[in-house]
């Protein structure tokens, strides 16, 4: 529901009172906060300074019936051109600290995977090499069970600290997190990831470094990192590769407005210049039906859509 200017001002004042004026932005364009560089304005964009402030903002939203959405680095997000009617809460730099202790790393949810893998390498710890090129936070990786090149978040997670909307702060074991392919109990139950303990193994820093460089080279040569995107657009269907199905359906370089199936890697939809969310959604619908017509496989999005549900888009 659209709010009047006075209602919005009142909510802004309340949020600024709770989180501090510097931490609250109104009508904030989401193309500034997503790696896809797409998205209309969020009514409010809040960057809480700590867990207490986060809890208060969530409590405020729940009490007033204001929708809220948690994000990290925005590397897996596609935001509608109309934006988001509610409060987006970004857990990133203010929640970015971590410490290495023996073979463990205790990290808060905003820690970047790149920084964690670098620190692991510097401390001669192996296990996080796979994550060095994933441009997201620990929180995003935990909720999605992010993975690459044979490694997944679940392989290194020992325990995860979550804010359960029903039961408050809880520490969950790897089993309780029920990690699956790009999903977890956190995704299913709306838990907010606050941090995690990662368990790594002792290794040789030179070997770890060279593996990280090898993976970097693999990404740079195969993925369209020079253009904005949200990573792999579709999940890998069982027994297939999404990118190969899209390529074999003749869609390499297929364009709708500024959105394009990357000619370098058909698994990526890229923003080739001023793409709107509507461009991306039309392109994704076209890709889905062409792949289905050709191979009888429905591709499911890996990218998270904010502001509308996929069921509505694909109906």
Four-CA torsion 228, 152, 58, 86, nearest 10 degrees: 30
182 catalytic? Reply is yes
From the CB of 126, what's the least distance to ligand FAD, in Å? 18
Q: Which residue is nearest to ligand FAD (CB)?
A: 140
H-run or E-run covering 221: helix 205-222
Would you say 9 or 93 has its CB closer to ligand FAD? Answer: 93
Q: What is the DSSP string of 140-159?
A: HHHHHT-EETTEEHHHHEEE
- Helical segments of 32-137, H only: 51-64, 113-122
7 to 2, 3, 25, 69: CA distances (angstroms): 10, 6, 15, 20
Q: Residues 206-245 vs ligand FAD: string with x where CB under 6 A?
A: -------------------x---xxx--------------
Q: Does 25 bind ligand FAD (CB under 6 A)?
A: no
Vertex 94, ends 233 and 29: CA angle to 5°?
50
Q: Residues 143-182 vs ligand FAD: string with x where CB under 6 A?
A: xx-xxx----------------------------------
Largest separation between any pair of C-alpha atoms in the chain: 60
Residue from the set 40, 41, 74, 151 that interacts with ligand FAD by CB under 6 A: 74
- Pairing of β 84-90 and β 98-101: unpaired
302 catalytic? Reply is yes
201 catalytic? Reply is no
Residue from the set 18, 80, 88, 134 that interacts with ligand FAD by CB under 6 A: 134
List the catalytic residues.
Answer: 182, 232, 302
- Residues in contact with ligand FAD by the rule CB under 6 A: 35, 70-77, 91, 109, 134-137, 139-141, 143-144, 146-148, 186, 192-193, 225, 229-231, 304
């Amino acid at each position: 529901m659209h709010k009047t200017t006075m209602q919005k001002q009142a909510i802004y004042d309340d949020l600024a009172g709770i989180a501090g004026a510097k931490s609250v932005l109104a009508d904030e364009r989401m193309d500034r906060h997503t790696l896809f560089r797409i998205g209309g304005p969020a009514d409010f964009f809040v960057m809480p300074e700590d867990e207490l402030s986060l809890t208060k903002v969530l409590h405020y939203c729940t009490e007033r019936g204001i929708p809220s959405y948690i994000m990290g680095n925005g590397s897996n997000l596609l935001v509608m051109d109309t934006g988001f009617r509610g409060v987006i809460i970004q857990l990133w730099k203010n929640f970015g600290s971590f410490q290495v202790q023996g073979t463990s790393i205790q990290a808060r949810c905003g820690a970047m995977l790149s920084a964690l893998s670098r620190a692991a390498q510097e401390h001669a710890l192996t296990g996080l090499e796979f994550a060095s090129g994933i441009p997201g936070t620990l929180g995003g990786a935990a909720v999605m069970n992010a993975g690459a090149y044979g490694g997944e978040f679940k392989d290194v997670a020992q325990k995860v600290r979550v804010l359960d909307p029903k039961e408050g702060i809880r520490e969950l074991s790897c089993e309780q997190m029920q990690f699956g392919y790009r999903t977890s109990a956190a995704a299913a139950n709306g838990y907010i990831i606050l941090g995690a303990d990662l368990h790594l193994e002792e290794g040789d820093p030179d070997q770890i470094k060279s593996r990280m460089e090898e993976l970097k080279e693999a990404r740079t040569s195969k993925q369209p990192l020079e253009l904005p995107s949200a990573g792999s657009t579709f999940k890998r269907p069982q027994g297939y590769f999404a990118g190969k199905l899209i390529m074999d359906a003749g869609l390499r370089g297929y364009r709708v407005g500024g959105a394009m199936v990357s000619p370098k890697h058909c698994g990526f939809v890229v923003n080739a210049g001023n793409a709107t969310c509507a461009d991306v959604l039309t392109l994704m619908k076209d890709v889905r039906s062409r792949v289905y017509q050709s191979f009888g496989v429905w591709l499911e999005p890996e990218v998270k859509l904010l502001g509308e549900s996929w069921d509505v888009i694909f109906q």
